C-alpha cells in the first residue's frame, strides 16, 4: 500500500502560492480607520481590497509584510502581529493561494501621504467599510476581534495615538475598540494608577477652552514591567 507520505513529495507536489495580506489600522479624530486599496491587477481589478503581496523565496512571511508596509506607508519598526492563515480552496479565483494575514497599527499623522496616494489607498471608517474582495472582510473582522483582545493587556495607545495625547483621547480609543462607553472618572483613575503615563506641563485646547492636560507613555518603564509579566489592563 502506498502512503500519503510516499506520494506527496517535492517533485510531484502541486504548486500553491503563499501570500500575506495586511490589515492596517489607524486612529484619527476619535475614529478607528482601515487603509483600503483599489486593486490594480486582475482578477477583481478596480475592486477594493486589503494590500498584500506574494512571499518571495528569499523572505519570511513577516519580512514580506514588513516590505509591504514600508512600500505603502514609508514607515518601519511599526507594530505588526500575525493574525491567521486563510486557506480555503476557493478563496482566490486567480490561483490556489493561502494567505497569512498580518494586522498593523500606525499613527495616521506619521505615514507618507504621497506613497499612500500613489498606491491608490484610502482610509475608511471601520464601521462604514465598503465590500472587500474575497475573504478580506473576514480578515478585517478577525483583526478587530484580535485588537479588542490585545487592548486588554497591551497599551495600544502607544501605537495608535500621537506621542502626546490626553486621557479623554485614550479613553475614546478604548471605547471605539470595545464599542461601549466608559465612565470618565473611573477610566482616569484606573489608567493613572498604572503609573505609565508621564504628565506634560501643557494642554490640548482643541476640544474646549479649558483644555485637557497632555501625557506621554513611559515606554521604557513599560518594557521593563512587561518582562516581568505585567499587563496594561484597563478592564477588570
Please give the pLDDT value at position 176.
97
Please give the pLDDT value at position 209.
67
How far is the C-alpha of 113 from the C-alpha of 156, rounded, in Å? 23
Displacement of CA 54 from its chain's centroid (Å):
19
Pure H helices in 75-127: 113-118
Please give the pLDDT value at position 162.
95
Please give the pLDDT value at position 129.
95
Please give the pLDDT value at position 178.
96
Q: How confident is the model at residue 57 (pLDDT cuts 50, 70, 90)?
A: very high
**pTM of the predicted protein model:** 0.91
How far is the C-alpha of 159 from the C-alpha of 111, rounded, in Å? 13
83: closest CA among 133, 154, 21?
21
User: What is the DSSP code (8-state) at residue 93?
Assistant: S
Helices 184-193 and 167-178 cross at an angle (nearest 10°) of 110
C-alpha cell at 190: 484606573
Domains along the chain with CATH numbers: 17-150 (3.90.79.10), 157-227 (1.10.10.10)
- Asked if 86 contacts 74 with a C-beta cutoff of 8 angstroms, the reply is no
Rounded to an integer, the average pLDDT of 116-142 is 94
Report the 10 Å Cβ neighbour count for 31. 16
Main-chain dihedrals φ then ψ at residue 15, nearest 5 degrees:
-80, 125
Which run of H or E residues covers position 193? helix 184-193
Please give the pLDDT value at position 25.
98
Displacement of CA 154 from its chain's centroid (Å):
13
Please give the pLDDT value at position 234.
86
Residue-averaged pLDDT of the chain: 91
Question: pLDDT tens for residues 144-202?
Answer: 999 999 999 999 999 999 999 999 999 999 999 999 999 999 999 999 999 999 999 88
Question: pLDDT tens for residues 2-19?
Answer: 556 666 676 767 788 999
Please give the pLDDT value at position 30.
95
Please give the pLDDT value at position 160.
97
Amino acid at each position: 500500500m502506498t502512503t500519503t507520505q510516499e506520494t506527496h513529495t517535492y517533485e510531484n507536489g502541486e504548486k500553491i502560492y503563499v501570500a500575506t495580506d495586511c490589515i492596517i489600522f489607524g486612529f484619527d479624530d476619535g475614529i478607528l480607520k482601515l487603509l483600503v486599496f483599489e486593486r490594480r491587477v486582475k482578477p477583481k481589478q478596480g475592486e477594493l481590497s486589503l494590500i498584500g503581496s506574494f512571499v518571495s523565496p528569499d523572505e519570511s512571511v513577516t519580512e514580506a509584510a514588513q516590505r509591504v508596509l514600508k512600500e505603502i506607508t514609508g514607515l518601519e519598526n511599526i507594530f505588526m502581529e500575525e493574525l491567521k492563515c486563510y486557506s480555503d480552496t476557493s478563496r482566490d479565483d486567480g490561483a490556489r493561494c493561502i494567505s497569512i494575514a498580518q494586522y498593523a497599527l500606525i499613527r495616521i499623522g506619521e505615514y507618507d501621504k504621497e506613497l499612500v496616494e500613489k498606491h491608490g489607498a484610502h482610509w475608511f471608517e471601520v464601521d462604514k467599510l465598503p465590500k472587500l474582495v474575497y475573504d478580506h472582510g473576514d480578515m478585517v473582522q478577525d483583526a478587530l476581534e484580535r485588537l479588542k483582545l490585545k487592548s486588554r493587556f497591551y497599551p495600544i495607545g502607544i501605537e495608535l495615538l500621537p506621542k502626546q495625547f490626553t486621557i479623554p483621547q485614550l479613553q475614546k480609543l478604548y471605547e471605539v475598540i470595545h464599542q461601549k462607553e466608559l465612565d470618565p472618572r473611573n477610566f482616569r483613575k484606573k489608567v493613572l494608577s498604572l503609573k505609565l503615563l508621564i504628565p506634560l506641563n501643557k494642554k490640548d485646547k482643541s476640544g474646549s477652552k479649558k483644555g485637557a492636560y497632555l501625557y506621554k507613555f513611559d515606554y521604557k518603564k513599560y518594557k521593563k514591567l512587561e518582562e516581568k509579566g505585567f499587563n496594561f489592563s484597563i478592564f477588570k
